[in-house]
Amino acid sequence: MIDTLLPQKSGHNLSHSTVLKAMCINGLGFTERRLYLFPAFFENLPTEKLLGEGVLPEHLNDDVFGRTMDKIQEYGATEIFNHIILQALKHVPINPRLCHSDTTNFSVYGDYENDDNGKNINITYGHPKDKRVDLLRFSIYMVTDQKGIPLFVRALDGNSSDKKVLIKTIKEVTQNLNLDQRVYHVADSAFYTESNVEEIGTNAFFISRVPATINESKELLMTDLVLETCSDERYSCYAVKSCYGGVEQLWVVFCSEEMKKKEEKKFDEKILKELDAAEKSLKKLSNHEFACEADARIAAEQWLKENELYEFQKLEIKTKSHRLENKKGRPGKGEDVQTFYLIEAEIKHDQENKEQGTVEREFRFLKDKSFRVS
């Protein structure tokens, strides 16, 4: 099929299908290398057994790989992949029930000349997932079935928006694969916007995570829900209908007992860490000498503002005297001294603010993909 889509020119020893097969084998164990180094991978391999009779390592040079890559780009990599997967669906019982969609990006080095004809992707600065904001990048969009078999792949600009790409590709996949049975498209919260839900309408089924920034979601999470135990007793859930984006759908809140214990442990560790930092900060404040009692009380009030989770269980302003000449020992009778004021305090958690932590614990499911909509 590859040779039908990418016919071999006269004078070339290898067909594009053979070169493409070699590139796939190379990609399994010799990744992230420059194109001119590809031939080194095949130097000690039995190429005739792997790629066909008469195929020798010296045939696999960078010019050969370059020509095939040019032909792929000319025809369209996504279009070729679509032909392959459609052909595979005729012979292999893949039967996708779930289409998992996601994007990632890759950073690259060097200079790249982008064109404005819209045919080629633009390698440019984007939103780095590897934290390398200094590098140019391009993105890859992939859709797999429930077993991880790729069904759709497309290269994208380095600054592509997930929100726009996800909805566009879900529609493409629905049209290209011509799936007769019900298929659910699974995507992360970047997909779930009012415009995307409205656009997809009832033309496709989807499962996604509702962002906590949506008002309906906020209200639901603040409600005292009565959760029902799932068939797997480690989980409980609450289901409610929603018409967000003008499309009727089912929202489900999940709670994991295992995750609950982990998050509560993290929360308690966070409280102890914050308490230790607060006590060190208060100790530093207690060692500071103030010129008057009013200044000391103002400083104590400021400390409370900066540490809202705590209140003073005890607060006293004590005095301390020093000789004016910085002599050691206790001042003598009638000797001139200077008086300073010190804060002596003990703290405890502000109960009202502490109880706010119960809400944080109830939001634990927002930290994983457990709030679903279908």
Give the integer Cα–Cα distance in Å for 3 and 134: 40
The answer to whether residues 232 and 206 touch, using CB atoms and an 8 Å cutoff, is no
Q: How many CB atoms lie within 10 A of CB 318?
A: 12
The answer to whether residues 144 and 150 touch, using CB atoms and an 8 Å cutoff, is yes
CA 148 to chain centre: 19
Q: How many CB atoms lie within 10 A of CB 186?
A: 22
Please give the CATH topology (third level) of the domain spanning 93-209.
Answer: Nucleotidyltransferase; domain 5 (3.30.420)
The HSE-up count of residue 155 (CA atoms within 13 Å, CB side) is 17
CB-based contacts of 88: which residues, under 8 Å, 6+ apart?
Answer: 94
Q: Fill in the amino acid letter for 27.
A: G
Backbone angles phi, psi at 352, to 5 degrees: -65, -45
The HSE-up count of residue 130 (CA atoms within 13 Å, CB side) is 13
- Looking at residue 308, the DSSP 8-state letter turns out to be T
The answer to whether residues 260 and 268 touch, using CB atoms and an 8 Å cutoff, is no
Q: For every one of its 374 residues, what pLDDT tens digit does the chain have, with 9 covering 90 and above? A: 888 888 877 667 788 999 899 888 887 766 656 777 778 888 888 999 999 888 888 888 888 888 898 898 888 888 898 888 888 878 887 778 888 888 888 888 878 777 666 667 888 888 887 788 888 888 888 888 888 888 888 888 888 877 778 888 888 887 777 666 688 888 888 889 898 898 887 778 889 999 988 999 888 888 888 889 988 888 999 999 999 999 999 999 988 888 888 888 888 898 889 889 999 999 999 999 999 999 999 999 999 999 888 888 889 999 988 766 666 666 566 667 788 999 998 887 755 444 444 444 444 444 444 445 54
Domain with CATH 3.30.420 in the chain: 93-209
SS3 139: strand
